Amino acid sequence: MIKNRLIGPFTQLLTMDNIPISGSLKDSQLEIIPDGGIIVCEGKIVKVGNYDHLGDEFGDRNTVIDYIDSEMVVIPGMIDPHTHICWAGSRANDYALRLAGKSYLEIALGGGGIGDTVEKTRIASASELEASLTERAMTYLRNGVTTIEVKSGYCLNTEGELKLLEVIEKVNKKLPVDLISTCLAAHIKPADFKGSQTEYLKSIVNELLPEIKKRNLSVRIDIYIDKGAFTTEEAEIYLLLAKNMGFDLVIHGDQFTEGGVAVACKLGARSVDHLETMNDNEIKLLAASNVIPIVLPGSSLGLGGHFAPARKLLDAGCSLAIGSDWNPGSAPMGDLLLQTALLGIFEKMTMAESLAGITFRAARSLGLTDRGVLKMGLLGDMAGFPVGDYREIIYHQGSLNPTVVWKRGQRQ
């Protein structure tokens, strides 16, 4: 017989329910249930409420109790909507060059950058990649991140990109944490491709994308629009073809060059990510669209650059999700909560805006409606912190980690 699981009591249970998808948020908008409890059955939330009341209601109905015997704040499992954690090698050399004053583009032109990781990732075996991806994903799960978007983009040929997407699929099936894959074969044109940029993109459309569809390896396509990567014109043609094949679109835009936002809005992308160089007109454009901006503070920290204008985006009425961009080059840290807290203090984001950016709004940026909020019918993914006041989570700037993480109602 299938059992209910009663989890609690929690000093505070933050549901993240009834929060609008867009615009600025006050902390008073957060729904906090004191002495909260949650009933989960077969991975999904059956009911959220007062622990004692739930005990009365469900206590005699074949219920297992997962008892919390010390103070704890629980929030929805965190969601990282932008990572590149399937790679081989290290870019410590790039980092040293950056410390010596070289820019991201200069380092790439000098033999470092994405091209360097492509060389290492191409020669790595699937089992080596599986091992490192597993380790990164499990580190994240222990830290309360229960859903992770993972991009390919470090092989940049048909065979290699399929290898990466297959590794992501395998690790997703193997681990309790959910990995959402995205094809980023349009990261840059690889050094060994003998044709033009347009020809490279065409080759992806003709050879790789049909195979991804056939094997059901991903429903999401990303492209990097920037100097040193692809132009807005090249991207538009590519993305339109991908859209016509039924893929969801995502764009790396406005990291160093403006322009990605307009393409994202024109084509109805799910999200446009980075945005460090975006201008005020682009903010207006985004506010009038359904495209969700994903800001990546880990990339600003890894490159020593400024943050994307999170405050301005929220004040203009945009949604805002936060990703770590965890990758070997621009964002080697891989700590979503720490990065969110630092973005918050520099951009003056409320705790509600920060927490929404890594739960409910992050879920929506991936098109997921089954998580990011603790309410009936959604997944029992949760992170429990050993404190009595939810504000301690952001206040500790990433040094406070969850002591218990639940994925689909099960302790990890």
Q: Is 325 in the site for Fe ion (CB under 5 A)?
A: yes
Identify the residue among 330, 339, 350, 365 touching ligand NIG (CB under 6 A). 330
C-beta neighbour count of 353 within 10 angstroms: 26
| Alpha-carbon gap, residue 254 to 274, rounded angstroms | 6
- Residue window 29-68: x/- pattern of binding to ligand NIG, with contact defined by CB under 6 A: ----------------------------------------
Decide: helix, strand or coil at residue 411: strand
User: Which CB, 276 or 325, lies closer to Fe ion?
Assistant: 325
Q: Return the one option of Fe ion, ligand NIG, none that residue 224 interacts with (CB less than 5 to 8 A, by type).
A: ligand NIG
C-beta neighbour count of 103 within 10 angstroms: 14
Phi-psi region of 156 (alpha: psi -120 to 50; beta: other; left: phi over 0): left
| Alpha-carbon gap, residue 110 to 77, rounded angstroms | 40
Q: Regarding beta strands 63-67 and 220-224, do their DSSP bridges make them parallel or antiparallel, or are they unpaired?
A: unpaired
Q: Which two tokens stand for residue 119?
A: 């060389």
Write down the least CB distance from residue 89 to ligand NIG, Å. Answer: 10
User: Which CB, 329 or 409, lies closer to ligand NIG?
Assistant: 329
Where do the H-state alpha helices sit in 175-259? 197-203, 209-215, 232-244
User: Which CB, 250 or 393, lies closer to ligand NIG?
Assistant: 250
Write down the least CB distance from residue 368 to ligand NIG, Å. Answer: 21
Q: Regarding beta strands 321-322 and 292-295, do their DSSP bridges make them parallel or antiparallel, or are they unpaired?
A: parallel
- Using N-to-C axis directions, what is the helix angle for 232-244 and 260-267, rounded to 10°? 20
Write down the least CB distance from residue 323 to Fe ion, Å. Answer: 8
Residues 296-325 that bind ligand NIG (CB under 6 A): 299, 325
C-beta neighbour count of 111 within 10 angstroms: 12
Identify the residue among 14, 74, 114, 156 touching ligand NIG (CB under 6 A). 114
Give 92: exposed, middle or buried? Use CB within 10 Å, 0-12, 13-18, 19+. exposed
Q: Which range, of 231-239, 328-336, 370-378, 389-397, touches ligand NIG by CB under 6 A?
A: 328-336
Q: Can you give 103-164 as a three-state secondary structure string?
A: CHHHHHHCCCHHHHHHHHHHHCCHHHHHHHHHHHHHHHHHCCEEEEEEECCCCCCHHHHHHH
- Residue window 191-230: x/- pattern of binding to ligand NIG, with contact defined by CB under 6 A: ---------------------------------x------
User: Which CB, 309 or 328, lies closer to ligand NIG?
Assistant: 328
Write down the least CB distance from residue 71 to ligand NIG, Å. Answer: 38
Identify the residue among 12, 15, 117, 339 touching ligand NIG (CB under 6 A). 117
Identify the residue among 328, 334, 357, 380 touching ligand NIG (CB under 6 A). 328
The letter for the amino acid at 293 is P
Write down the least CB distance from residue 136 to ligand NIG, Å. Answer: 14
Give the footprint of Fe ion on this chain (CB under 5 A): 325
Give the footprint of ligand NIG on this chain (CB under 6 A): 84, 113-114, 117, 224, 252, 255, 299, 325, 327-330
